[in-house]
Structure 1
Amino acid sequence: MTGDQGKGAGKTAADVKDSRRDRLKLALRENLKRRKSQARGRSDSGASSESPNASLDDASGEKPGQ
């Protein structure tokens, strides 16, 4: 009984690696979902600003309509 102290309460190295792998897998999946939703949000807002009058000046430096 005294030899069991400090060994992770009976967990083996394989159990620790599996739990770590599962936590990392879950974190990566959540990160991917978050990044996809951010990309969708950027593409939605970017499409609305591509109207012809969105920019106040063009490459020649003149204002549109003048």
Structure 2
Amino acid sequence: MNTEKQSNPSPENTGAKRQKTGAELREERQKQALKANMARRKAQAKARMGQSNDKIEGQ
């Protein structure tokens, strides 16, 4: 009897690169777009807070 475990190394486990599917590429693009959008919104909110503070101090 052979008691050694046979394993099929998958590309995920071996570090080998595999071609991404269309759905994976689309999800990756969406993640990048969401991250950029959140950064832009954060910058806008920060700018608005600065403007509102300037108005309060200027009164």
Using the size of structure 2 for normalisation, the TM-score is: 0.65
Runs of at least 5 residues in structure 2 that lack an aligned partner in the other structure: 1-17
Which structure 1 segments of 5+ residues have no match?
Answer: 1-8, 51-66
CA RMSD after TM alignment: 1.0
Higher Cα radius of gyration: 1
2:53 is aligned with 1:44 = yes
Structure 1 runs (4+) greater than 2 angstroms displaced: none
- From the two aligned structures, give the one with the greater helix fraction: 2
Q: Name which of 24, 27, 31 aligns with 2:36.
A: 27
TM (normalized to structure 1)? 0.59
